[in-house]
Amino acid sequence: MSDLPDQSLPSNMHRFTLSIPMQSYRNRPPHANQQHQQQPAQPAPTARLKRPKEIACFSYDENHVYRADDSSIKYYYDPPLGASLSKGHPDKFVQLNDDEDEHLDGLLRTLTNLERGAHAGASAHYRLAGHPASDAAPAAEHSETTSDSAAAPGRRDVDLVAFRGMMTKLLTASYDRNAFRMNATCFQGTVFLEEDHGHKLAQRARQGKDRRERRGQPDMELMTYWGYKFEALALLPRHWAETSREFIESREEHVVNNAAQFCSVVETGAGGVSAIIAGEVDGVWDCRPVDPSDPVHWIELKTSAEIRNDRDRDRFEEKLLKFWAQSFLLGVPRIIVGFRTNDMEGKLVKVQQFETTELPNLVKDRFGACDRGRDVEDQPGSRCERNGSDKG
């Protein structure tokens, strides 16, 4: 840990950087695992996790311009099996240049407006349940000064503010093989966490170089495209009932643009630590509930190589803990995985759904994870089922 003095910071603000070298649990020396196995099992102390509750949202449009609304939300529609996830690469890929560090700007901007009672995206449960943001603020001006807010204004006293990606790294640090570096700023009793952007870019470059040196394997750029292509195939900008058949059937030809994003902001916590976390949400399973107290049926989309043997299954199961952490932190109840062929084309061969609360049980034997579903504060919510007949 290293202190970073900054003359521009107020006297009540302190900033530091923390670097954490990681070594995966399964890569420990054999004797370390043996010692661990020989020791009698002891009940590990657990901290009660608070179920995330959405308090606001914000969007980035197709040019990655911030909007204080939920205009970039998307709706799930079954993707066509057999589609090539490589189609359109690179000619039809509008890729966001993330070389510039955005810090926590979008989240802090949203919280500032929320505390002033002036955020069009406040309480996103309410905002798209038949009540467009334009009712409160003219869309053409992207106003952030509306007084209509379902979330109570005023300063929100929390211990921690961060994006979901940073919290995922912390939550899975014991089992992740990748190192990471984070920056923290303490201001008025709240710690603001963010990943060190320069370190992240350098690590990404090293991983890309390593993969290019492996013959016969797709590079990182193509694999990244596969994920966004799957999203383009599985998501609609409007509810399916309001989308033309022509648009739905031409999804394979659409331009893939990852600049547009919808972000949910939630209040959560663990034990006595309170937190506000924001992160991108891929889409919604059905629609937003009218009652703001009901949970939203968000979905997380993932891609993975098809499972052909035990080795493939092991590789997939290694991903499940991170899948769980990413989804649980934002209260996303359902994960949809698109399985692709293990070649350069990446043809979509299968789509499978996983309930977020079920994933700890699937990986606890591999990672020694507890059944976290039993340690979560339950909140009443509605159950929504969807089948093929919904699509007409």
Give the pLDDT confidence of 91-113 residue by residue, as tens digits: 999 999 999 999 999 999 999 99
Q: Look at residue 150 and tell me if it is in a domain.
A: yes
Determine the pLDDT at residue 238: 95
Backbone torsions φ then ψ of 336, nearest 5 degrees: -115, 120
| Number of domains within the chain | 1
Determine the pLDDT at residue 206: 87
Residue that wins the pLDDT comparison between 294 and 67:
67
Residues found in the chain: 392
pLDDT band (50, 70, 90) for residue 293: confident
Amino acid at 163: F
Distance CA 71, CA 82 (A): 30
Lowest mean pLDDT among 27-41, 268-282, 316-330, 374-388: 374-388
The answer on pLDDT for 365 being more than 80 is no
Determine the pLDDT at residue 381: 34
Q: Look at residue 1 and tell me if it is in a domain.
A: no
Residue that wins the pLDDT comparison between 289 and 278:
278
Question: How far from 213 is each of 177, 178, 205, 210, 227, CA to CA, in Å?
Answer: 20, 19, 13, 5, 22
Strand, helix or coil at 266?
strand
C-alpha torsion angle, residues 285, 286, 292, 293 (rounded to 10): -60
Determine the pLDDT at residue 367: 60
The 10s digit of each residue's pLDDT in 60-73 is 999 999 999 999 99
Amino acid at 238: R
Q: Look at residue 6 and tell me if it is in a domain.
A: no
Backbone torsions φ then ψ of 98, nearest 5 degrees: -100, 25
Determine the pLDDT at residue 5: 43
Strand, helix or coil at 138?
coil
pLDDT band (50, 70, 90) for residue 128: very low
User: Sign of the CA dihedral 162, 165, 166, 168?
Assistant: positive
User: Are 143 and 120 a contacting pair, CB within 8 Å?
Assistant: yes
Lowest mean pLDDT among 78-92, 143-157, 239-253: 143-157
Determine the pLDDT at residue 132: 35
**What is the domain range of residue 143?**
14-20+46-391
Determine the pLDDT at residue 127: 35
Distance CA 388, CA 392 (A): 8
Determine the pLDDT at residue 4: 45
C-alpha torsion angle, residues 286, 134, 114, 277 (rounded to 10): 30
Determine the pLDDT at residue 355: 96
Tokens 């359902």, located at residue: 334
Most confident among 63-77, 133-147, 359-373 (mean pLDDT)? 63-77
Over range 149-175, report the average pLDDT: 83
Determine the pLDDT at residue 140: 33
Amino acid at 12: N
User: Sign of the CA dihedral 94, 236, 232, 107?
Assistant: positive
Distance CA 187, CA 354 (A): 39
Q: Are strands 273-280 and 180-187 parallel, antiparallel or unpaired?
A: unpaired
Q: Look at residue 5 and tell me if it is in a domain.
A: no
Q: Look at residue 221 and tell me if it is in a domain.
A: yes
Q: What is the mean pLDDT of the chain?
A: 79
Determine the pLDDT at residue 196: 94
Question: How far from 377 is each of 51, 270, 271, 327, CA to CA, in Å?
Answer: 6, 10, 11, 16
- Strands (DSSP E) along 188-232, which ranges? 190-195
Strand, helix or coil at 239?
coil
Beta bridge partners of 313: none
User: Are 192 and 162 a contacting pair, CB within 8 Å?
Assistant: yes
Q: Which of 353, 342, 343 is nearest to 311 (CA)?
A: 342
Q: Which of 90, 67, 49, 109 is nearest to 328 (CA)?
A: 49
Determine the pLDDT at residue 248: 97
Largest CA distance in the chain: 65
Tokens 């038949």, located at residue: 130
Tokens 């994006």, located at residue: 163
Determine the pLDDT at residue 361: 86
Residue that wins the pLDDT comparison between 311 and 125:
311
Beta bridge partners of 190: 187
Q: Are strands 235-236 and 261-270 parallel, antiparallel or unpaired?
A: unpaired
pLDDT band (50, 70, 90) for residue 340: very high
Q: Look at residue 345 and tell me if it is in a domain.
A: yes
Determine the pLDDT at residue 13: 58
Q: Look at residue 84 and tell me if it is in a domain.
A: yes
Angle at 230 between CA 227 and CA 231, to 5 degrees: 90
Q: What percent of the chain has pLDDT over 70?
A: 71
Distance CA 321, CA 353 (A): 15
Determine the pLDDT at residue 261: 97
Most confident among 13-27, 86-100, 107-121 (mean pLDDT)? 86-100
Distance CA 273, CA 376 (A): 14
The answer on pLDDT for 14 being more than 80 is no
Over range 347-373, report the average pLDDT: 78
Distance CA 236, CA 78 (A): 10
Determine the pLDDT at residue 236: 98
Determine the pLDDT at residue 41: 54
Backbone torsions φ then ψ of 308, nearest 5 degrees: -110, -20
Determine the pLDDT at residue 120: 53
Q: What percent of the chain has pLDDT over 90?
A: 57
Over range 356-376, report the average pLDDT: 63
